[in-house]
Amino acid sequence: MFADSYSRKLSEETMSSLWVGTSAGTMMALDVIPYYSERETKPVMLAHSGSTFQLKGTILELCFLNYRGVLVPVEAEMWGNSKESSGDKRGKRLVSRVSRLSMSCSETTNEKSAASTEHQHIAVMVSDSEMRSIALPAQTVLHKEKFQEGMFVVKATAIIMKESACLTCLGSNGNLMVYSLPSLRPLLNVNYFSDVDIRVVRTLDFSNHGHAMYMCTPTEIQKITVSADMCRAQADTQCEPFLPKENPEMPKQNFLKSLFGSGPSVLDREELFGASGKASHGVAKFVPGAALQAAQAGASGVGAELARTRMALDERGEKLGRLEDKSEAMKDRAKEFSDRAAMLADRYKNLKWYQF
């Protein structure tokens, strides 16, 4: 990462530098030459500053804090080509300056003189096995912490939570861990992921205030938080895709007007037959006569007789079925008795009278 910090030991001023971490646990500081004023006229070159740090495992995260313990943001400057014509919009670059935070970068002369010359900046280096807080430019180790035995870290990010710098880590066993900076004191260690797969490692991203997001499936994004305040305020941040509203009532239409009107119209069922089963005043009521009532009574009597006849037929069918089963059983027993009698006759067929 690029940083404006003390890349050389016991240096009195910050320099633009590139800090490179390797999979072997080596952290190197490279000075960027030339400086800002000479960048437009001279090519940019990198030179080893002589500062090398060795950690155990693969380097995962590097961040810088000032002597107050506030994260120092990465300083960057986007520049544009001065020879480019105003009409050509291709390749146009906006020239802007990314300002630093007032608490971390704009320090007055009195504050700098009050701070120790050995602790102007603090570099926090995190590998998959350990983490260290190193004071710059003295390059002395302030704090050192090793992770749990048999577990290694797969993701680490420095964030700001409750106006303080914190380090969030994801372990290979699925634990989410939070450490204070720069003291590296453990604040949280909870098991969240039952199985850490490659999708979680590649897509998990921590942000300020304890937020984190990752892709739980190829098409779904899961949002989590390690902050209790954000968890309690989660209900206030939820929203609905639309506001529920009741449908407006349809204007009432005269039945005769809609029946004899020139154009087609839509009739409401509740308007015709009533919502509670009671017909509206504009619909004629059907009054059954005596003949129809007699026919309905006769039909109900015939239906009852047919039902009784069907039940009798069913009972008869069941009795015939049981009788057929009994006949089959008697037939089987008779055949078994005949077979045994034939076997007994064959046994005593050739015996003499004195052999009995």
Q: What is the pLDDT of residues 277-301, one digit of tens each?
A: 555 555 556 666 677 777 777 777 7
The whole-number average pLDDT for the span 188-200 is 85
The whole-number average pLDDT for the span 49-74 is 88
Give the model's pLDDT for residue 168: 92
CB 161 within 8 A of CB 181: no
CB 159 within 8 A of CB 225: no
Give the model's pLDDT for residue 284: 58
CB 142 within 8 A of CB 151: no
Give the model's pLDDT for residue 262: 54
The alpha carbon torsion through 343, 346, 347, 352 (nearest 10 deg) reads 160
Q: Is the pLDDT of residue 114 over 70?
A: no
pLDDT band at 216 (very low <50, low <70, confident <90, very high): confident
* DSSP code per residue over 200-261: HHHH-EE-GGGEEEEEEETTEEEEEES-HHHHHTHHHH---SS---PPPPPPP--HHHHHH-
Give the model's pLDDT for residue 125: 93
pLDDT band at 112 (very low <50, low <70, confident <90, very high): very low
Percentage, residues of the chain above pLDDT 70: 71
Model confidence pLDDT, tens digit, residues 140-189: 999 999 988 888 899 999 999 888 899 999 988 888 999 999 899 999 89
| Nearest CA among 27, 19, 22, 60 for reference residue 152 | 60
Q: Indicate the pTM of the whole model.
A: 0.55
Higher per-residue pLDDT: 237 or 261: 237
Please state, in angstroms and rounded to a whole number, the distance separating the CA atoms of residues 344 and 48: 114
Q: Is the pLDDT of residue 20 over 70?
A: yes
